[in-house]
Amino acid sequence: MSSTRSTPRPRRQAYDAVVIGGGPGGSTASTLLARHGLSVLQLERKPLPRFKIGESLIPATYDVLRRLGMLDRLRASAFPKKYSVQFISEDGRASAPFYFSETDPSERSQTWQVLRGDFDRMLLDNARQAGVEVLEGVAVRDVLFDGEPAAGARARGVRLELADGRRADVASRVVVDASGRSTLLAKKLGLRRPDPHLKMAALFTHFEGAVRDAGRDEGATLVIHVESKAGWVWYIPLPDDRVSVGIVGPIDYLVSGRRGDPQKVFDEEIARCPGVRPRLAPARQVMDVQVLKNFSYQSSRVAGDGWVLVGDAYAFLDPIYSTGVLLAFKSGELAADAIAAALAADDPSAARLGVFGPTIERGMEAFRGLVYAFYDRRFSFARFLKRHPEHRQAVIDILVGDVFDRDFGPLYADMERMLPGLRPSSPAQLASVAGVA
């Protein structure tokens, strides 16, 4: 057999939808589009499983996992169960854990810590089972338009690079960009806007043999301030005795050249963090330290004629509350339903495809307020909730991810009274970002 014949290539020349990316956003959109009866091609440039950061889920992912039919597979997996998140101060004092079951004692309040290579593989296999044609090792090089995109042209397909290096064009009624932080379309169309208030970097790696809490707390996410409060550390228990540990802080603090290489900075920060140091004392680091920076951004539109952005390809907020996979799931789900309705009406226009933008933006706005609060040195959860115990439920709802159809106005009004100037975004900015202004 010739190498050309063994190279995976699309079976058809045209599809109802092409989905770029095999992460959680892409697989949610592709699976649900196929279940709507549409022909779907999904393309992932790196064969799975591959390493990916983003290992801690939050409970509201349950609803999408249930719709995807994934819950039994997760229940049967070795992924540690996560019941809570706990914040530890710079001097090592732990707050009482926020148990998600406090406000909802159902099964939904338990979630999982996942190895993303395995988790994303499960989601992609599920997409195949739903009828999606999935090609791995195939990169999308361009999104094709029927004219100048800036002049309102319609997306009409994609240009692929197959595993053997050959190019191929595929036609599609709708293109879903779920390419993650590559933000393929947002970059091409000049839509990507960095968040000027969150110029952060992250250094992260995995350990084996680190200390784990017992019982219900074994799978808890710990969020630990380093001394000086300049940064924070995540501690996420994974399967096979692994723990994911990462440090997040301002770019000029964490990755300025004068502090030396990433491993040295990582070691220095752990040494300054009494909340995590003893947990790592018996552990062995099993991966080189990875670096990411400037990861908070948003696209100025969620959809155009014939195209939609999903997950990180649209926006990423910040890792502090582990909201990335939920936002990828939710936008993938809402995008799939909007696309199915638009194609049924034979009208894949920006207005129809983008109907879900305001819902996603409402959710992001709810998270964003708590993100800005966390990075405001004046803020402390303990102090705020001592003064306003009536808001504990709202704070837990945000940590759970129940944010899309809720009004957190009273919570943020009281937060802003305590911390004037806390939220730099305005309703006008919100509307224009969601594409409804």
Ligand X SMILES: Cc1cc2nc3c(=O)[nH]c(=O)nc-3n(C[C@H](O)[C@H](O)[C@H](O)COP(=O)(O)OP(=O)(O)OC[C@H]3O[C@@H](n4cnc5c(N)ncnc54)[C@H](O)[C@@H]3O)c2cc1C
Counting contacts by CB under 6 A, is residue 179 touching ligand X? yes
Choosing from 10, 17, 19, 21, the residue that interacts with ligand X (CB under 6 A) is 21
- For ligand X, the binding residues in 110-139 under the rule CB under 6 A are 139
Residue 82 — φ and ψ, nearest 5°? -115, 125
246: Cβ–Cβ under 8 A, 6 or more apart, which residues?
Answer: 53, 202, 203, 204, 205, 233, 234, 319
- For ligand X, the binding residues in 135-164 under the rule CB under 6 A are 139-140
Q: Round to whole Å and give the CA distance between 271 and 239.
A: 25
Q: Which stretch binds ligand X (CB under 6 A): 69-77, 103-111, 172-180, 257-265?
A: 172-180
Choosing from 46, 212, 392, 423, the residue that interacts with ligand X (CB under 6 A) is 46
Choosing from 56, 109, 110, 111, the residue that interacts with ligand X (CB under 6 A) is 56
Residue type, 16: D
- For ligand X, the binding residues in 217-246 under the rule CB under 6 A are 246
CB of 405 to ligand X, least distance (A): 20
CB of 158 to ligand X, least distance (A): 9
Counting contacts by CB under 6 A, is residue 10 touching ligand X? no
Choosing from 8, 9, 36, 53, the residue that interacts with ligand X (CB under 6 A) is 53
Choosing from 10, 26, 231, 304, the residue that interacts with ligand X (CB under 6 A) is 26
Q: Closer CB to ligand X, residue 135 or residue 415?
A: 135
Lay out the site mask for ligand X across 311-340 (x = CB under 6 A, - = otherwise). xxx--x--x--x-xx--x------------
Q: What is the 3-state secondary structure (H, E, C) of the chain?
A: CCHHHHCCCCCCCEEEEEEECCCHHHHHHHHHHHHCCCCEEEEECCCCCCCCCCCECCCCHHHHHHHHCCHHHHHCCCCCEECEEEEECCCCCECCCEEHHHCCCCHHHCEEECCHHHHHHHHHHHHHHCCCEEEECCEEEEEEECCCHHHCCCEEEEEEECCCCCEEEEEEEEEEECCHHHCHHHHHCCCEEECCCCCEEEEEEEEECCCCCCHHHCCCEEEEECHHHCCEEEEEECCCCEEEEEEEEEHHHHCCHHHCCHHHHHHHHHHCCCCCHHHHCCCEECCCCEEEECCCEEECCCEECCEEECHHHCEECCCCCCCHHHHHHHHHHHHHHHHHHHHHCCCCCHHHHHHHHHHHHHHHHHHHHHHHHHHCCCCCHHHHHHHCHHHHHHHHHHHHCCCCCCCCHHHHHHHHHHCCCCCCCCHHHHHHHCCCC
Indicate the pairing of strand 14-20 with strand 167-177: parallel
CB of 386 to ligand X, least distance (A): 28
Counting contacts by CB under 6 A, is residue 25 touching ligand X? yes
Counting contacts by CB under 6 A, is residue 59 touching ligand X? no
CB of 388 to ligand X, least distance (A): 27
Q: Closer CB to ligand X, residue 139 or residue 415?
A: 139
Lay out the site mask for ligand X across 244-283 (x = CB under 6 A, - = otherwise). --x-------------------------------------
Choosing from 10, 24, 97, 237, the residue that interacts with ligand X (CB under 6 A) is 24
CB of 123 to ligand X, least distance (A): 9
Q: How many residues bind ligand X (CB under 6 A)?
A: 37
- For ligand X, the binding residues in 180-219 under the rule CB under 6 A are 180-182, 184, 202
CB of 337 to ligand X, least distance (A): 17
- The tokens describing 346, both together, are 């034979």
Counting contacts by CB under 6 A, is residue 355 touching ligand X? no
Q: Which stretch binds ligand X (CB under 6 A): 43-51, 64-72, 265-273, 301-309?
A: 43-51
CB of 82 to ligand X, least distance (A): 10
Q: What is the 3-state secondary structure (H, E, C) of 133-180?
A: EEEECCEEEEEEECCCHHHCCCEEEEEEECCCCCEEEEEEEEEEECCH
Q: Round to whole Å and give the CA distance between 180 and 185.
A: 11
Q: Closer CB to ligand X, residue 161 or residue 416?
A: 161
CB of 387 to ligand X, least distance (A): 29
Q: Closer CB to ligand X, residue 22 or residue 304?
A: 22
Q: Which stretch binds ligand X (CB under 6 A): 177-185, 254-262, 334-342, 368-376?
A: 177-185
Return residues touching ligand X (CB under 6 A): 20-26, 43-46, 52-56, 139-140, 178-182, 184, 202, 246, 292, 295, 311-313, 316, 319, 322, 324-325, 328
